[in-house]
Amino acid sequence: MPIDTLPATRRVADVAVGTELPPLVIPLTVTKIVATAIATRDYALVHHDQATARERGLQDIIVNILTSNGLVGRLVTDWAGPNAVLKKVAIRLGVSAYPGDDLTLSGTVTEIDGNTVTIAVTGAVPRGNHVTGTVLVDLPN
């Protein structure tokens, strides 16, 4: 993205408890799941070998936790802008995310303490929540 089209940095004064982040929808494909597992050096067979995933009781290969964590971070940084600083990302996995799913990430501001904004995040697939958690992000004044 050219520098002149980067989103403006959100400022803490522009945010209130209850502010909802725009949803981020990520279509999950086999290529995306395999590529992100390899990019995060997660070579567990359930992330790229369909036969092994099925032997282990899964319907297909699954998204790995590092990818889920990164996408949660992306949800927040896309909203917050380039001068925001992620301070903490704490997530918990729920249902598996498979090829063909759309992972819909959403977030809501739950607390503001000085420059630190707490955001409750959820990433849902058709079977329920794939990821839930909290992100702390520092925004400029």
Q: pLDDT tens digits for 8-34?
A: 789 999 999 999 999 999 999 999 999
Q: Give the domain ranges of the chain.
A: 3-29+64-138
**What pLDDT, on a 0 to 100 scale, did the predictor assign at position 9?**
85
Question: What is residue 28's DSSP assignment?
Answer: -
CA angle 91, 70, 137 (to 5 degrees): 70
Q: Are strands 102-113 and 85-93 parallel, antiparallel or unpaired?
A: unpaired
What is the maximum alpha-carbon separation in the chain?
52
Both structure tokens of 26: 């990520």
Question: Is 80 exceeded by the pLDDT of residue 64?
Answer: yes
**What pLDDT, on a 0 to 100 scale, did the predictor assign at position 111?**
98
Name the superfamily (CATH) of residues 3-29+64-138: Hotdog Thioesterase (3.10.129.10)
Both structure tokens of 62: 């699954």
**What pLDDT, on a 0 to 100 scale, did the predictor assign at position 22?**
97
- Rounded to a whole number of angstroms, the distance between the first and last alpha carbons of the chain is 25
CB 133 within 8 A of CB 107: no
Confidence label for 6 from pLDDT (cuts 50, 70 and 90): low
**What pLDDT, on a 0 to 100 scale, did the predictor assign at position 45?**
95
**What pLDDT, on a 0 to 100 scale, did the predictor assign at position 94?**
98
Q: What is the mean pLDDT of residues 61-80?
A: 97
Q: What is the pTM of this model?
A: 0.92
Confidence label for 4 from pLDDT (cuts 50, 70 and 90): low
Confidence label for 141 from pLDDT (cuts 50, 70 and 90): confident
